[in-house]
Every structure is written in structure tokens, then in C-alpha cells.
Structure 1
Amino acid sequence: MKCATIVLAVAVATFAPSLAESRRIVGGQFAEEHQFPYQIGLFLDGNFRCGGSIIDSQWILTASHCVLDGVDKIPAKGFKVHVGSANLEQGQLYAVAETFAHEQYGSFQNDIALIKLQDKLEFSEGVQPIELNTVELPVDTPVIISGYGRIGDGQPISEQLKYNTAFVESKEICRSMTGLSGKGLICFKSPADNGACNGDSGGPAAHNDKLVGVANFVLQGCGTQYPDGGNGTIDDSDKDGLTVADVLKIEQ
């Protein structure tokens, strides 16, 4: 079977001509209510922009390009965070106090950011934080990706959360397909016509209810055999770029 590969690297993102920001799960299935209570939807000026993950009662993990306009910081007052439902028409919206993009964002590395909410979340069945993964996953480990992004190139976003399953691919294959040579790549494979698309940026990739990575980019369109990419969550000083553990050192 022809496969697509999803890549989650330690802090990766760029604006090369062959890449597009990751904005929707292609293929897969619709999520049940409260199935992914850590998933959020990020809105800017009333328009859906990105996904993200609840990691604390007042903190959201997403991608840097979700909170920036190029290299310029977007004012926090324009953002709202949707939580509490697998449907964007339901749930609750929270105002954003501040955003923290990685200070070295601007290449394939460091596309990772934090969002601080004005008010703390009220945890419930539909609103829960996700623990960060801290171990390297073996090849063929299943990983769940989820998001509200487009169902395909040129298609609108979905108001209903979707998810799909991918599997850990070898680092060698990931590097050969992406041209990325930095340490810490986490790569995933899935059948063709499945994977991330526009709108999934910043959203979670999870294994056993632990956050493995942050969705970042797609290559050559959505659901192709080319890799999708993101940022890994392993705290390993031997890896290049910023890890989630580094991001969490921001003063609260």
C-alpha cells in the first residue's frame, strides 16, 4: 500500500515554496464528544486558524507560525481558544492573555509556541490537559493525529474534530524524504490520502494519551506520500532545536 509520512521533528517549520502550513486531517474519522479533551481550536478575529493542546490549566501548546504574521507578533487580544467540545459550534471560548513564540523561530526548527489564557480552564470530562511524552517511540508505534483543518486541498475546514492513526517511521526514511538532517526527528507513516492538512497546524499527535508532537507542515499538498511535519516533545539535550520541556521554562 502506498504510504504517506508524517514528520514530527524537534522544532521544525519554514516557508519554503514546497511546503504549506498544516491545516486539516485528510481521511480518518470524526471524533466522539470528549474523545480528545486536550484538543483546542485557535481563532483569530473570529476565524479558525490552528489547533493546539491543553498542557496546563492556563497554558496551550501550539506552533509559532499560528501566533505570528510572518515574523511579527500578532496581538493577543485577537485570539480566542475553543475548548470543551469536538464541535466548533459548541463548547467554550477563552480569551488569550499572551503568546510566546520561540525566539529563534524562522527555519525548519523552533516552530513551537505557548499561549497563556486570561483565565484558568475549568477541567471537566471535555476539558483536560495532556501529559508530554518523554521517551523515544519504537518504529511502527501507532500515533493519533487530530484537528479541525481542511479535509483536502482547496476544501473548507470542518466544524467537527477529526482524527487519524499514523505509525512511527524510521529516521532514515524520514530524512531521505524530507531532506531534514537535524537530530530528533520523529516520523510517521500512514496510507495515502490520509494525514494532516491546512488547519491542523499546532495540533496534537498523541500516543497512549501523551503528547508526542505538534503539527507543523505538509509537503506537496495534503494526504500525499510526502511527509507532514511538526515538533517533538522529547526532552533530550543531544537534540537540535527547542523541546517542549524547554518551552515550559517560560516564566509563569
Structure 2
Amino acid sequence: MSPILQARAVTYGKMDRHIFPFLRRESSPILKEISLDLQEGQTLGIIGASGSGKSTLCRILSGLVAPDEGQVLYQGQDLATAPVQVRKEIRPAIQMIFQDPYGALDPRQTVRDIVGEPLDPAPDRDARILTALKEVGLSADMADRYPRAFSGGQRQRIAIARALITRPSVIIADEAVSALDVSTQAIVLNLLLDLRQRHGLAYVFVSHDLAVIRHLSHHIAVLDQGRIVESGPASDILDTPTQPATKALLENTY
């Protein structure tokens, strides 16, 4: 089976300007020659120390940022170079859930506006919003409230509903439960597992919590200083790591 999402030799770095605008110095790339595959209906866990490039990788895989070198392919189509109409069709298929359930939602918008924002005006727009809220365990009467009325866990459910509204195939979650307390984390994780099974979703899931990664992931990739140093089935990586970076992560967790 072909992967639904692929990275092929992705490199990303930043250019720092000197005093003279025509002189530029390239800093060490944030990501270096990243290659990975995400299979349909499965979860790829991404782990690594702080500053290893995890959040940058999420933004590149989602198409929010283009790599300097290499490719990100969705069903074989390059997110950066595909024809405009193809990219427009791909965009709803890959959605992101961010870490901060407080900062990710516009406090000036109602839940109805937040969840429905990715949709074009359509006769079924309101019905789809209410369906998305129901799928994440929120009631219809919450649609016209503002984010300030909700707890952190409820806000993250709103963010998940917003991701679901476009009927995606891939959801990229960047530390999506790290800001929640342990009991709320468990509820949200079980919701994500249920949604994966119900809709055949594929996840890229970034977390510093290896218990969370073990709970969700089929495969794991370990980032260290912008490179993937180890990847494979989740149980192999977590139970019999071979790389010093992976061993260090496990030692700092347990």
C-alpha cells in the first residue's frame, strides 16, 4: 500500500542577513534530509528533544511551510509544486491541531464561527458544524458561546472539530495534549483513537510524553538535531532503542 503522506529528503533552514543586504550566510539547517512515510489509517509518532525540529517538521508536512529542498507528497502529489487546482483540493485533506488550546482559538469568534471557518458558504454548512461538534462530544447549544466559556479540554475538542470539518485524511497534531491535565489528556487521546477508527484518519502525532506516543502510535521517528536518527515500529523503538538520542529520551522519561 502506498503511503498517504511522504517526506522525501526534506531540508529546511533559515538565511541570516549581514549588514549588507546582498551578503547572506546560511545557518545550520533546522531539518536535514528528512524522509518518512505515513500510512493511511495509522499514526506516526514523532519524538525528540526540545529544539530538534519537531514543530517545524509539522508545519512542513501540513503544507504551511515549503521545504528548501526535498518534497512532501500527499497521495503522490507534491504540496509545493502541484498545479494550483490540485493544491486547492489537497489543502482540506491535511489539517493541524496545535499545542495551546487557549491561544489557538480566536476569542472574538463564537464556536460556530471557529469550527466553520474553513468551509465555504453552503446550505449544509451549519449542519456540518453541529455534526463536527457532536463527534467530539460537544452539544449544539455550545455553538454560539465564546472560547472563554470553555475549559482547556473543551477548547481542544473545539480545535479537533475544526480540523474534522473539512473531512481530512491526515491530521497533524503538534503536542496536542501537553497543555492538559492527565485525566483530560486521557479523554482527548481516547477521542482521537475513536476518530481514527471511525474515519480511517492518519495522524502525525508529536509529543514529549512517550507514554502518549506508545498509546497512539504504530510507528515512531526519532528526531535529533534536525535529523531522523531512528525509525520503525513503535514497540521496537521504545523497547529496544539503538540510538543514543532515543535512549536519552527514554532515560529522561522513566
* TM-score normalised according to structure 2 size: 0.26
Which of 1 and 2 has greater Rg?
2
Q: Relative contact order: is structure 1 or structure 2 higher (C-alpha 8 Å, sep ≥ 6)?
A: 1
Higher helix share: 2
* TM-score normalised according to structure 1 size: 0.26
Higher strand share: 1
